[in-house]
A and B are shown apart, each in its own frame.
Chain A
Amino acid sequence: MSGRKETVLDLAKFVDKGVQVKLSGGRQVTGTLKGYDQLLNLVLDEAVESVCRGTAVMLVSPTDGTDEIENPFLQPDGA
């Protein structure tokens, strides 16, 4: 076990990968994750904003594998 078990999600696996970060207030940043800490302060490369304040981070997800899709909750008739 690593020393920092503070976070629910270990961001180590996102380092040097593309991430999408939604900030409270409605802004959204995509970039390459270069670093982070327990407070979820992030260092992003090639992003609109290069340093995000941890408390503003609302959501982090990998850009890899994230796609817009059709409504998956619509059931075809008779299903």
Chain B
Amino acid sequence: MLPLSLLKTAQGHPMLVELKNGETYNGHLVNCDTWMNIHLREVICTSKDGDRFWRMPECYIRGNTIKYLRVPDEVIDKVQEETKSRTDRKPPGVGRGRGRGGREDGPGGRPAKGIGRGIDEGGARGQGGSRGGRGGLGGNRGAGRGRG
């Protein structure tokens, strides 16, 4: 269970946020991001020493000022369910690899390349034998000429 997935699951739920400076904020989580910046609604702010309180309709809290968050137990249960269902339908990564391999073996590309190379090398330098052979008809002809 990742901290941020827990936080994401807690969206819409009440939660407590304590900042590094000791202030706490109780409110409903509206939104959060990967920096743990959070947006709370219907917030009650408690001062560091716990003797003053403020109500605010909403607030934005920068993630790096957070000391810790408390979330209700049902959120913990919910995130466990979600991670379980995610591992259950884990897709095998084989399909895509096979598909790509098949495409490269297609009939278009390689013979054309082979013909070109076979004629060139075979004709000019007379060593088309091994390389030109792959190219099919053109390559073979080139190799023959080189030897003769």
Q: Is A43 engaged at the interface, CB distance under 8 Å to the other chain? A: no
- CB–CB A24/B65 < 8 A: yes
Total number of A residues with any Cβ neighbor in B under 8 Å = 23
Which residues does chain A contribute within 8 Å of B143, judged by CB atoms?
A: none
**What CA separation (Å) do A64 and B38 show in the bound complex?**
20
The residues of A that contact B55 with a CB separation of less than 8 Å are 65-67, 69, 72
**B residues in contact with A60, CB < 8 Å:** 59-60
Number of interface residues, chain B, beta carbon within 8 A = 24
The answer to whether the Cβ of A57 comes within 8 Å of any Cβ in the partner chain is yes
Distance A65 CA – B39 CA, assembled complex (angstroms): 16
**Given that A68-B53, A69-B53 are known contacts, is A8 also in contact with B60, CB under 8 Å in the complex?**
yes
Give me the interface of A with B, judged by CB distance under 8 Å: 6-9, 11, 24, 26, 40, 57-62, 64-72
Name 8 interchain pairs, CB-CB below 8 A, sorted by A: A6-B33, A7-B37, A58-B21, A58-B65, A59-B61, A60-B60, A66-B55, A68-B52
